[in-house]
Amino acid sequence: MSEGADSQPVALGASRVELRVSCWSLPEREANIKPDPCLVIQLLSDGQWNEVGRSEVLHGAQNPVFAHVFALDYFFEEMQNLKFEIVSQTKVTKELVLPNGEILDNSTITDFFSKSDPFLEIYKVTVGESENLVWRTECVVYDHDSSGKHDYIGEFSTSFQEMLQASSGEEVKWDCINHKYQEKKKNYKNSGYIVLTQCKMEKVHTFLDYIMGGLQISFTVAIDFTASNGDPRSEHSLHFINPREPNEYLKTLSSVGEICQDYDSDKRFPAFGFGARIPPDFEVSHDFAINFDPENPECEKILGVIEAYKRCLPQIELYGPTNVAPIINKKYRVLLILTDGVVSDMPEACDAVLNGDRGMLETEEGRAVRDIVQFVPVREFKKARPNALAKTVLAEVPKQVVEYYGSKGIPPGTQKLSSPPPQ
């Protein structure tokens, strides 16, 4: 029902977000001259601010409620920064020139025909009984005035259930009531009729619906500490801590983690390592907490994961093999495994993936009914934009979430949502 919201197709993998904006107490441009505000929204892309939408101009409005709906594509896997700007559009006044060339001073143009130029505003009443403007029609029920001082014609209230009667092909009609006239005029009936000719309801849940319904993304990290990464003390090692530039593990942790942490309310993330000999006995472990606290492997924010990783490196001995099944067999929701090469226990890892979803992934033939694994070669992103890696790594998560809850018939907001079983 949003103006212009369906004018552009939704980008692949995105959810369509509709922004409705209002402002309060905008300052006057000059003494006793009210602003003519217009809202401009810009999106930061590759270091540049690009305009993605512009509202209508509301003349003389210090508390504007913009009818224009900004329809934007939302991507879970991207950091999307928006900038809102209010600009005041200056009126351009031209001299009125008569056919004989004479210029009239202090001239005005009058509507001699005095017919209405009506337009319709639709408001949604919230639980708190406040009213949000969701749609303003073109002037075809106010009487539109170019000065912004529209003449009130009338109103009516209805419910969505009542509007749905039009879905069966029947027209639904309401009296347009001007309450001032109703109080003053004895024989007043209405100021016309509002007729709804068609109403269609489509229920399509998106990933954003689940996020707005309370879904939390529980994010877990597993890091490869096998000897094939190279001696961490050598600058050729993938684990080398360079004070001037983060290594590939740190870049990936930052890129992906900074996106995921915005979807976790406590922002605490379990972080594990595998393939190393760890203190105090220096036996090989494939599922140790990198903060060395097995009872509480969580780290505070992604920065905490990074600090735990840096503290962990000098205390362990890189070894092998690259076994990931023990990590997958742990309880998790979204698991990011960072490894430098071939997985040594691939059959066991595949079984762990199938069994980790409480058997709901596996069919009678032993095949997975959902694809919940994403492989991304980090080396292909060395020269890419900083957000490109996270975008690729997390691109499948929205689809996986929607498919899981959809397969269970679970709508948004009906449960204490955490991420669905292992991804």
Do 217 and 190 belong together in one domain?
no
- Residue 399 belongs to domain with CATH number: 3.40.50
Residue 189 lies in a domain: yes
Q: CB within 8 A of 137, min separation 6: which ones?
A: 119, 120, 121
- The predicted structure's pLDDT at residue 220: 93
Do 20 and 51 belong together in one domain?
yes
Q: How far is CA 180 from the centre of its chain?
A: 43
The tens digit of pLDDT for each residue in 286-330 reads 999 999 999 999 999 999 999 999 999 999 999 999 999 999 988
The three-state DSSP-derived secondary structure of the chain is CCCCCCCCCCCCCCEEEEECCECCCCCCCECCECCCEEEEEEEEECCEEEEEEECCCCCCCCCCECCCCEEEEECCCCCCCEEEEEEECCCCCCCEECCCCCEECCCCCCCCCCCCCEECEEEEECCCCCEEEEEECCCCCEECCCCCCCEECCECCCCHHHHHHHHHCCCEEEECECHHHHHHCCCCCCCCEEEECCCCCCCCCCHHHHHHCCCCCCEEEEEECEHHHCCCCCCCCCCCCCCCCCCHHHHHHHHHHHHHHHHCCCCEEEEEEECEEECCCCEEECCEECCCCCCCCEEEHHHHHHHHHHHHHHHCEEECCCCCHHHHCCCCCEEEEECCCCCCCHHHHHHHHHHHCCCCCECCCCCECCCCCCCCCHHHHCCCCCCHHHHHHHCCHHHHHHHHHHHCCCCCCCCCCCCCCCC
In the chain, how many domains are there?
A: 3
Strands 288-289 and 276-278: unpaired
Do 192 and 215 belong together in one domain?
no
Do 282 and 160 belong together in one domain?
no
Report yes or no: 243 and 310 within 8 Å, Cβ to Cβ. Answer: no
- Beta-bridged to residue 142, according to DSSP, are 119, 152
Residue 5 lies in a domain: no
- The predicted structure's pLDDT at residue 111: 43
- Residue 42 belongs to domain with CATH number: 2.60.40.150
- The predicted structure's pLDDT at residue 374: 83
Residue 94 lies in a domain: no
Q: Write out the two tokens for 58.
A: 């509301």
Do 186 and 322 belong together in one domain?
no
Do 131 and 192 belong together in one domain?
yes
Could you tell me the residue range of the domain that residue 55 belongs to?
Answer: 15-88
Residue 260 lies in a domain: yes
Listed residues 152, 169, 196: the one ending a domain:
196
Do 82 and 127 belong together in one domain?
no
Do 267 and 346 belong together in one domain?
yes
Q: CB within 8 A of 186, min separation 6: which ones?
A: none
Listed residues 196, 225, 245: the one ending a domain:
196
Q: CB within 8 A of 113, min separation 6: which ones?
A: none
Listed residues 196, 230, 249: the one ending a domain:
196
Residue 25 lies in a domain: yes
- The predicted structure's pLDDT at residue 108: 44
- The predicted structure's pLDDT at residue 190: 92
- The predicted structure's pLDDT at residue 216: 86
CA distances 246 to 219, 241, 254, 348, Å, are 21, 7, 10, 32
Q: What are the 10-residue block averages of pLDDT along the chain, 423 residues in total?
A: 48 76 87 86 90 90 90 86 85 55 51 56 73 66 60 85 84 91 90 89 81 88 96 94 92 91 90 96 96 95 96 96 92 86 89 68 59 84 83 87 84 65 52
Do 223 and 324 belong together in one domain?
yes
Residue 108 lies in a domain: no
Residue 419 lies in a domain: no
Do 191 and 212 belong together in one domain?
no
Residue 201 lies in a domain: no
Do 84 and 187 belong together in one domain?
no
Do 309 and 348 belong together in one domain?
yes
- The predicted structure's pLDDT at residue 1: 36
